[in-house]
Chains A and B, each alone.
Chain A
Amino acid sequence: MIAEIGQYALILALVLALVQTVLPAWGARTGDATLMSVATPVAYILFLFVGSAFAALVALYLTSDFSVVNVVDNSHSRMPTIYKITSTWGNHEGSMLLWVLVLALFGALVALFGGNLPERLKANVLAVQGSIAVAFLLFILFTSNPFLRIVPPPAEGADLNPVLQDPGLAIHPPLLYLGYVGLSISFAFAMAALMEGRIDAAWARWVRPWTLAAWVFLTLGIAMGSYWAYYELGWGGWWFWDPVENASLMPWLSATALLHSAVVMEKRDALKVWTVLLAILSFSLSLIGTFLVRSGVLTSVHAFATDPARGVFILVILSVFVGGGLALFALRAGELKQGGLFAPVSREGALVLNNLFLTAATAAVFVGTLYPLALEAVTGDKITVGPPFFNLTFGGLMLPLVFAMPFGPLLAWKRGDLPGVAQRLMVAAGIAVVAAVVTAAAEDRGPVLAPVVLGIAVFVMLGALTDLAERAGVGRVSARVNLRRIVGLPRSAFGTALAHFGIGVCLIGIVCESSWSLEKIAAMRVGETITIGAHDLTLTRMENRTGPNFHARVAVFGIREGGVSQGEVVSGKRLFTARQMATTESGIRTFGFSQLYVAIGDETPDGQVSVRMTWKPLVTLIWLGTVVMAMGGLLSLADRRLRVGAPKPARRRVSPVPAE
């Protein structure tokens, strides 16, 4: 009964999504307030139905109901409970259901918190959301139905792809989807504005929290995916410029640009058309990301779905929404009033610069990701665009942007004073130069540019602090006033500083890991010791272990530093019996912010095992930096100013986005 209720709930969700698309849009067109008011309860019930369908699928996985094809293909009765739950979305059908669940959640949130939106805007936004839900529910029901049954049911499932049997699967896709799909809200707002031909400063204030929330989730999702690949794939890379990674990076870059341009729009009523275009592009890039991963046009770890019918369907969805969005933009953008003039050197100017660099970087990644696919489709030639291309183009665009970052927040709106700002950044720049010189003197290995980049990273971090100090008037007024001003600063000011600081932290991690890592590859026997950096690794023993649905062969290493024992690190290989697939479990020990990374290879019959060990200095800063960035985003999100729009300014603190 659970399976059939899930199936029916999904069907009713499709029907309601159709209603949510048609009735409110009709109401908005005819100015009928009653019809427009249908959107709110329908959005709630739509979420309820999609939620029920999802809960039903989870229940089927938990009870190992092998009369459901999806469960048979992706589950195993002996899997730990946590993986039974996560395998719900560890496959094509389930992950699309999760996608729609997040979409319905955001729709319900707009309905819940949009009480103070102009009625017509709210109705149009929910109608656009509804149309996206229609497209994806049709896709699920007719090409990827997770509730298909099988008679007679087998007694055991085919197991989840072993690479995905990891806690990472519990966190990474949901976060990423919250980000991807969150961008559908700004898209819906942009479309609604274009449909009405009306956009104003208040619009930016409504779009910004949603974009910010999506950006925070996307940031964390990408970072989580990167860390997962780092420890699970067993070769210690944290970013591969894999098309699937790029697919998530592109909307992130675009959403970052959108965040910043929305600030200009909100504060200065300028860059309207550009902001609307960015909102359309950001969600389009999310859809392209979904398309790249789901259609199976790429063959990589993530592309666990390969079916041309699905690919064509997604392509149609893609062209309807991207093409439709851009066409509407081309038709109506001219009607949007422009406003707000500013000098090139100003906060606005700095944000425009930010947007230019970010969009150029997005374009670079876009070309690098899609050019090989296009070339293969046209000429049949297979080429790979690898790290050299991306490091050169993306790195070349991001470094100047990052260098310019501390200047932006210090510039005044409308007319800025660049020499004055430069003067205020002198302290930060001075310390950064010292850091770069000291690093260059201490490290004789690695690329020449590395200390320079490290200096820039330090400059960015100190620049973010300088911004706060300036706002508090450090050096101009008494310490007590400083403190009072700091406390009184809007949370978004802290958010900006923290997010920018996080980029500096992340950059330090990237530079140190890629320039000064130490690596050794050796064939070892039990009892042998290898020295890497300051650590001695001894292969103490090899042993067999048994998991619920796998057998493992592990190597246990003792770590000593300067003769003092530092405990053990374990690396192994797991053989998953149901799929006869092996995975590598890397052993990682963290020392401060640095990590020792050990992965074993094959064992020869005479007892030698190949071992790859790497000392990765400050590598954890890469992910800690992104967490700091996300914290900055959350702080900004909690800012009181983003909650305006209520007819009476509320005194109560209400978070715009409840706990997800």
Chain B
Amino acid sequence: MRMKRIGAVAATAAVALTLAACGGTSGDAGAQGGGDQQPYIAIVSKGFQHQFWQAVQQGAEQEAQAQGARITFEGPATEADIEAQVTMLTNALARQPDAIGFAALDSRAAAPLLQQASSRDIPVIAFDSGVDSPIPLTTAATDNKAAAAEAARHMAEALGGTGKVALVVHDQTSRSGIDRRDGFVEWMQANAPGIELLQPQYGGGDQARSADITKSILAANPDVRGIYGSNEGSAIGVVRGVAESGVTGLTVVGFDSGAAQVEAIRNGTMLGAITQNPVGMGRELVDAAIKATRGEALPPVIDTGFYWYDQSNIDSPEIQAVLYQ
């Protein structure tokens, strides 16, 4: 029996090492910094498994290939894992990159590491949301407030400027959650006095929770005429919740894309949505990072853009290029 136990522990180590070795060769590995001529850009994002981040990664990889650079792309499992992200940034710095791409979950929590990058002359490019620090050379991001205001404008137009509108927002702590809520609310308050906004509700960007929230909103306020979902998970949750509750004739406005949301717009259950340009964000990020390694000047902000899309333009090449499935 003792042998069996020893075997199990030995197997633990063996499996870990084998998997590590396999991963090492299949990945874009090469842990060495320097040595080769290709600049190496370590990108630490806010996530990795959501379609949005995969689209950013795709754009970053395209641009890296086009310009002959090497990238790594990683992010924590959830947007609440701030410590995990700080550890990733620490480890990214240990790999001696030529530049860092960073989308901060909480920029102040990462401040000491950014300071370290700066003192080692590793340029930092912020993306997705601004890093609240003078260290990043530029920020490649969507203007979330302006984008949310655009969503509000389309909602108000569709409702003829009157009626009750509910908000299902992904969270109240992240910059994007706050901006997409405030951008929507402020535009309505300033421009649509006939629209009555309900208190925003938060579903963590989780489809099932957002659907439940939508159903309780509809149960409590039968006179709601419009609902806004602030990211992919929230928007799809709203569509699900509306369908499950059987209420018809609602105006639903969403954010981001993804197969389910695109389908909802095609079949008319959703009026339209704002899409960011994640592939473009990845490209701009890598382009800016490569320029930074050459010491070229960069603008303080790179607006990666957003688009309103609905049934009328969903098949246009311009929109198709930025939607992800």
The answer to whether A binds B is no
Chain B interface residues toward A at CB < 8 A:
none
